[in-house]
Amino acid sequence: MSDTYSSVPEPNGREEESRPRGRGRPDAAGAASDGEPRCPEGATAADGFLVLDAAAVTSDPALEAEFVPAAHRILAELVADGAPLGWVEPPSPEEIAELLGKVLAAASRGDAALRAVYLEGRLVALGYWLRYARATNLPHADIEKIAVAASAHGRGLGRALTTALVRDAERAGIEVLTLDARGDNHRALNLYRSLGFREYGHLPDFVAIGEQRWDKVFWMLDFRLARGGEAPVGRAHQGAAIP
């Protein structure tokens, strides 16, 4: 599991499913027959920005070519400013290319979901979840990165991005979606709570950067309960002896 970083400026900010007239993917979506920009498949539009999924990004040659370099700039700048994204030093372009290549490949198999947020034609936020690799954990997934460029803070993009990833997980049949965050990342923690995540534990003074230490806080969202059912009960809870 990896730390996440999210800018959540407005408690009432939300992603909209509507696709307003006159809003589309700038410089990439083209225009419909009436001259209006069109919103591509795999996208939701609201408040002037677009939240694209992995298929929408990789199906557009221009977006695909620009995605990794733009993502690297966002992540490197955030880490350089101290954002809790799991790196002590800004990652290299090669490291980000390898990381996102694996995420996109997993998304094509249904084992991940990636979302990219574009504002005025520029990538300004990205995030993804990955299905757990261990055989006994395959029904579940972990949100590993949520990052919003500093230049785009204050527009509710962290909420829109996280909401899209949660919906992707629910549609993919994920049972439990997890994430973790640094204990001082209060805006992100408030966001996760508002989206229905439940804190299930923390490790005191676990995240280390130099001599500094922070708690690592763990969160979960159980879709089995949200779907109106009950979480499967283990043998121990059924009265069976624990070996």
Whether residue 228 lies inside any domain: the answer is no
- As for how many domains the chain has, the answer is 1
**Could you tell me if residue 242 is inside a domain?**
no
Cα 40 to Cα 56: distance, rounded to the nearest angstrom? 7
| DSSP of 112-144 | EEEEEEEETTEEEEEEEEEE--SGGGTT-EEEE
Q: What local confidence, expressed as pLDDT, does residue 234 receive?
A: 56
- Amino acid at the residue 60: D
Per residue in 128-180, pLDDT (tens digit) is 999 999 999 999 999 999 999 999 998 899 999 999 999 999 999 999 999 99
Nearest to 93, CA basis, from 68, 116, 123? 68
| pLDDT on residue 98 | 98
Rounded to an integer, what distance in angstroms lies between the CA atom of residue 182 and that of residue 1?
12
**Within-domain flag for 145:** yes
Specify which residues 31 forms β-bridges with.
37
Q: E strands along 149-227, which residues? A: 176-182, 198-209, 212-222
Residue 98 structure tokens: 């390898």
Q: Which domain holds residue 93?
A: 43-174
Say which CATH number the domain at 131 has: 3.40.630.30
- Please say whether the beta carbons of 180 and 4 come within 8 A: yes
Residue 207: inside a domain, yes or no?
no
Tell me how far apart the alpha carbons of residues 214 and 227 are, in angstroms, rounded to a whole number: 35
Residue 103 belongs to a domain: yes
Structural tokens at position 14 = 């939300």
Positions in the chain short of pLDDT 70: 1-47, 226, 228-243
- 114 domain-assigned: yes
Res 185: pLDDT: 85
pLDDT at 3: 52
pTM (2 d.p.): 0.78
pLDDT of residue 44: 58
> What single-letter amino acid sits at 92?
S
User: Does residue 111 lie within any of the structural domains?
Assistant: yes
Give the pLDDT of residue 230.
Answer: 61
Q: Is residue 131 part of a domain?
A: yes
